[in-house]
Structure 1
């Protein structure tokens, strides 16, 4: 935008100025009103409120733009008391930015069709977005495009230092894979972008990362294109984890375990029959509080619960772990009821049952998932007895007190050993987060105000970004460095949540053992 994204460093500065509101948001809401976007209920004639380019805003009846510094930044708040299930925003199909909507550009349409057989729908949408950005003010979506974030914290944007700050091998692998896929997608699409005569800065991998992160973090599901759509104003809603429906898989309480400790073994000879309906479904879900409605030819959003005037209105995108939120959206939750901690397991444990590997994890409270508990109970059972106790195990019952004590002691020690191998402790991570917050709050401050030990991860960060200037009394952070600081903070927050789940598992197991031995 502004001469084809002008240079991304400049755009980041503009984004900072526009991030919390200002004239850019006013222009966006005025443009949206002209596009038929509205938070008014449709009238009997089918009109949805303001439709003139001179209308001051598309919002004001149900919603308004506000800033929530501790809950997602810029978002939408209730302009009045809202009822659960009430239609609160409607975005006409003509306002959605999709691959199809950009086909009015004949050259773009021709080139897209030529490459459709070899590029994915998501790659196509990334190219369309960059094409619209390249048009600058000539783009129909210019007021929307200029308000998009100029940088993202998705895993594909992490540097090597930030990736390794995650510390856990699985998380590092996911991050490196995200970057590899992004580079592969970019290389495959370069020839198409060259045919479209993209400006040099729009052909770079950096531009591709920005556009693909925009698609990953902001698109909503539509039935006719698996890539989804960019939905002006509708993508201002912040995320709410679907914790209302969350229920820990392992429902056994300590009291229930204690009451079962003296029950005899069930030597059932029935063959194990796994009900596929009970298998965990880990497929990604899109937005759950809205959707495209053919009858209205619009994307419609509904209140997920009752809201009081002034409250932030949130939408649920689906159930995501913190690592998935980082990968696709560039943020995480301090308290995520859907988070999971995957730990390295012996091959015999994974092979002892038919549960898929991604169902074997620790839950936010530290308790093992139902599948992991079953797998451990089977693994700790002599091979010749596994068939006879399988039905009992898969019904959620203990095999025996001895079996349960064995697996709880093993799991506790295993989690303790994993924690011991990680580079930093929970206490050290908390200290680092406090120091990072000081740096973010005071980007230009005396070095004496920030207590930086001579040998620690903070010093490694300084060295990685050329901030170890001897003889200076001030710590100066550029906007680019602050972005890296924010991503490093996210990496520490993720690993801290992971470690806390392992710590909780140790406490959980020790408590179970204590109750069983009472």
Structure 2
């Protein structure tokens, strides 16, 4: 009952800010704030409603009617977005303290978030904060036992790196938190993890702040991975890449309307969960930044230990050498493995074939596939 009341209060607060899933609602601020209009002027219920999906992300947004692909389904005005700028605008002490220290944009938003949360019910954003999780399951929150349980070297390394990076950011921001006279609870590393994770998992891109913005109601959308046909291939033109990059996400800040706008990524029937694509991520990246994984992620990758003498044969980044979710080696991995399996005195003469993605010879291909198969079996 308490959670339901908090949600209802939040929805009334969001409605008053002009957040809406219906373009037909056009009322002034006084009408929005009229409690007698709550049922007809709710920010949702025209296209979306809040529902619970136990096997698909928990709480999310549900279609209350048929929705068409590309249709605008939610608009959040700029005035309803929470950024470090908006938090400092109404807190001179916070603004002055932050200006004295050299912090990254993400650190500034983390400090500003903790500062605002510490105000409790005095904060204008309090109804929104009641909808934040009390904890997250991202890699930076893993203890040593949980990190080792990941088993794979690249996963363990990613978790240790995430933890170390978060600790470094926390320590370097301690001075500004001391100046703001944070209570011990909000100075703790546990509180920093909560705030930085809230930023990592809930913020959305805005062009004027690399830390992003918190988008009330918009952050209720659960994640849908981009489909296979949206993943970039090596033969795309620059124009194709630009067009496809726009389709990798379904929410964007539109300057003309001064609002964050969300569009249906596909056709939805009444009762379907409406999902949002944050971009292309592997399961390990989803766990690091958002705290969950997908049972079937078309963008997942597997990395296997490669021979040390292989690294001198190419200039591709290490993260391009992987096994696709469907079991196929990546273009870069296959190219460099074909070159590696070629006798050294012949490598120069066949390099152009390998880099074009061509098979060098049947014998070469057998060596490559048998080696990769053996390494995959050992990893499994």
Query: Normalized against structure 2, the TM-score is what?
Result: 0.91
**CA–CA distance in structure 2, aligned partners of residues 286 and 113 of structure 1:** 37
The equivalent of 1:458 in structure 2 is: none
**CA–CA distance in structure 2, aligned partners of residues 187 and 249 of structure 1:** 41
CA contact (8 A) 1:220 1:287 kept: no
Q: Does 1:299 align with 2:260?
A: yes
Q: Secondary structure of 1:338's partner?
A: coil
The equivalent of 1:197 in structure 2 is: 181
Q: Does 1:168 align with 2:152?
A: yes
**CA–CA distance in structure 2, aligned partners of residues 46 and 353 of structure 1:** 61
For residue 210 of structure 1, report the CA deviation from its aligned partner.
Answer: 0.5
Q: In structure 2, do the counterparts of structure 1 residues 380 and 215 end up closer, same or farther at CA, with 3 Å as the change threshold?
A: same
For residue 247 of structure 1, report the CA deviation from its aligned partner.
Answer: 5.8
The equivalent of 1:411 in structure 2 is: 372
Deviations 1:458-482 (A, max 9, x none): xxxxxxxxxxxxxxxxxxxxxxxxx
Which of 218, 222, 226 is the matching residue for 1:238?
222
Which of 16, 24, 37 is the matching residue for 2:6?
24
The equivalent of 2:110 in structure 1 is: 126
Q: In structure 2, do the counterparts of structure 1 residues 250 and 164 end up closer, same or farther at CA, with 3 Å as the change threshold?
A: farther
Q: Secondary structure of 1:314's partner?
A: strand
Which of 333, 336, 342 is the matching residue for 1:381?
342
Q: Secondary structure of 2:335's partner?
A: helix
**CA–CA distance in structure 2, aligned partners of residues 142 and 332 of structure 1:** 30
What's the Cα RMSD here? 2.6
**Aligned residues, how many?**
371
Q: In the TM superposition, what are the counterparts of 1:497-508 in structure 2 within 5 Å?
A: 499=380
Q: Secondary structure of 1:178's partner?
A: helix
In structure 1, stretches of 5+ residues that fail to align are 1-13, 252-274, 420-498, 500-518
Q: Which has the larger radius of gyration?
A: 1
Which of 341, 346, 352 is the matching residue for 2:313?
352
Which of 59, 77, 90 is the matching residue for 1:92?
77
Q: In structure 2, do the counterparts of structure 1 residues 379 and 276 end up closer, same or farther at CA, with 3 Å as the change threshold?
A: farther
Q: Secondary structure of 2:118's partner?
A: helix
The equivalent of 1:208 in structure 2 is: 192
Q: Does 1:178 align with 2:178?
A: no
Which of 210, 224, 227 is the matching residue for 1:226?
210
**CA–CA distance in structure 1, aligned partners of residues 71 and 333 of structure 2:** 40
Query: Normalized against structure 1, the TM-score is what?
Result: 0.68
Q: In structure 2, do the counterparts of structure 1 residues 248 and 286 end up closer, same or farther at CA, with 3 Å as the change threshold?
A: closer
**CA–CA distance in structure 2, aligned partners of residues 288 and 208 of structure 1:** 28
Q: In structure 2, do the counterparts of structure 1 residues 401 and 46 end up closer, same or farther at CA, with 3 Å as the change threshold?
A: farther
**CA–CA distance in structure 2, aligned partners of residues 169 and 285 of structure 1:** 34
For residue 354 of structure 1, report the CA deviation from its aligned partner.
Answer: 2.5
CA contact (8 A) 1:246 1:337 kept: no
The equivalent of 1:440 in structure 2 is: none
Moved over 3 A (4+): 45-50, 246-251, 284-287
Q: Secondary structure of 1:313's partner?
A: strand
Q: In structure 2, do the counterparts of structure 1 residues 345 and 276 end up closer, same or farther at CA, with 3 Å as the change threshold?
A: farther
Q: In the TM superposition, what are the counterparts of 1:72-471 in structure 2 within 5 Å?
A: 72-102=57-87, 103-115=89-101, 118-246=102-230, 288-416=249-377, 418-419=378-379
**CA–CA distance in structure 2, aligned partners of residues 365 and 317 of structure 1:** 22
